[in-house]
Amino acid sequence: MRKLTLPIPDEDIRSLKVGDTVYLTGMMMTGRDAAHKFMIEHFIRNEVQPEDESLHGELKALLDGSVIYHCGPVVKFHDDGSYSFVAAGPTTSIREEVYQREVINHFNLKGVIGKGGMGSNTLKACQEQPAVYFHAVGGAASLIAQAVKEVIGVNKLEFGVPEAMWIIRVEDFPVVVTMDSHGDSIHEQVAASSQEKFAKLAGM
């Protein structure tokens, strides 16, 4: 078991291997489909417009060496204007495969958290950066929310609560490395093994 503090240095990322259990502490951001699409269209593939410069600078500073969490949280809104996470389970990551490599490279991300794994483009980005894919336990949304100690703020709340960019501070956030910076992916291994077993069962 490893304990790492965000932002994570490159040497720590390179030392991680698939199967490693890690507890993360520090600031990160949630982001799903709408957030990734927005970042691609407004920050990465097109020139940043004046109205977006402030947010772009904020996210560049926040995400440099940090991680994005594929999460659609359940959030409690308090009378004093603050927020807290009631549930914070991971969402399926493969939906972001079309965006993730560019987002990782642009923001110098060192990790992505989600469930189900990602594809070859993200794995290549993990080797380039370096970065890793962290798998969070599905079905444990309330338990994971206990690791979210503070909701710092939110961007693009107009996308809706699950799709907004929530900035959070976590302590001992539990994850497992399932794609590392050396090109290894548990998800690819499982897929290959399953295909081999299926072929044997089918008499192929």
* DSSP β-bridge partners for residue 74: 87
Three-state DSSP class for 174? strand
Residue 36 annotated among the catalytic residues of the structure: yes
Q: How far is Cα 23 from Cα 8, in angstroms, rounded to an integer?
A: 12
Q: How far is Cα 105 from Cα 179, in angstroms, rounded to an integer?
A: 16
Three-state DSSP class for 96? helix
Q: What letter represents residue 190's amino acid?
A: V
Report yes or no: 82 and 169 within 8 Å, Cβ to Cβ.
no
Q: Which residue has the tokens 């951001």?
A: 29
Spacing of C-alpha 108 from chain mean position? 13
> Across the chain, which distance is largest between two alpha carbons, in Å?
64
Q: How far is Cα 100 from Cα 124, in angstroms, rounded to an integer?
A: 10
Report yes or no: 52 and 43 within 8 Å, Cβ to Cβ.
yes
CB count in 10 Å sphere of residue 159: 18
Catalytic pick from 36, 70, 135, 187? 36
Q: Which residues are catalytic?
A: 36
